[in-house]
Amino acid sequence: MTKLLRVIIIFLMTASITGCGGSGSAVSSTTADNYNYVYVSTLGVTGVVGSGNGRFSTPYGVTVDGLGNVYVADTTNQRIQKYDSSGTYMSTLEVTGVSGSDNSHFIAPVGVAVDGSGNVYVADYGTYRIQKYSLAFKLPDTGQNEVASKK
């Protein structure tokens, strides 16, 4: 388990127990696995519900990829948000706030995972399915997506 992932997990556990906020003030450290964990940062805006980029309504599942990017399942907003390793918002997977059961929408995404090839897996509680997304890029002048192959 990477140190960043451990920090996120401990932070989430501490936030749910102590109600710590994103003020940047020090939070007492937690000891686990012979490490001392201290508050590092917050994704989103503490105490503010929203559907804009970088805001959450019901953040539920979280994972980190091999590059340190953080993915958050924002259940009520029916989306997955991606942040870089420093916590800066990067992108959104699927349509924000629009519920649906086709391949471009979620109803209630609660879990997210990323494999070693960069494929993103989303557990959608509302549609009783797991969706897999592969890295894609837009073809010039067509707007069509092309799945990127790894060589």
With beta carbons less than 8 A apart as the criterion, state whether 79 and 105 touch.
no
Residue range 122-132, pLDDT digits in tens: 999 999 999 99
Residues with Cβ within 8 Å of residue 54, at least 6 apart in sequence: 43, 44, 45, 81, 89
Q: Give me the residue label for tokens 């890295």.
A: 135
Residue range 16-28, pLDDT digits in tens: 433 334 444 444 4
Q: How far apart are CA 138 and CA 116, in angstroms?
A: 22
Q: What's the DSSP call for residue 139?
A: P
Q: What string of DSSP letters covers 88-110?
A: -EEEEES-TT-B-SSTT-BS-EE
Q: Residue 7: pLDDT band by 50, 70, 90 thresholds?
A: very low
Element (H, E) at 132: strand 129-133
* Domains of the chain by residue range: 1-42, 48-147
Task: Kindly compute the dihedral angle of the four CA atoms of residues 99, 100, 101, 104, in this order, to the nearest 10 degrees.
Answer: -100
Element (H, E) at 9: helix 3-18
Q: Angle 131-137-141 (CA atoms, 0-180°, nearest 5)? A: 130
Residue range 25-54, pLDDT digits in tens: 444 455 556 777 887 788 887 888 989 898
CA distances from 104 to 70, 79, 84, 119, 145 (A): 21, 10, 23, 16, 13
CATH number for the domain running over 48-147: 2.40.10.500
Residue range 65-111, pLDDT digits in tens: 999 999 999 999 999 999 999 999 999 988 777 888 888 889 999 99
Residue 96 neighbours by CB distance under 10 Å = 16
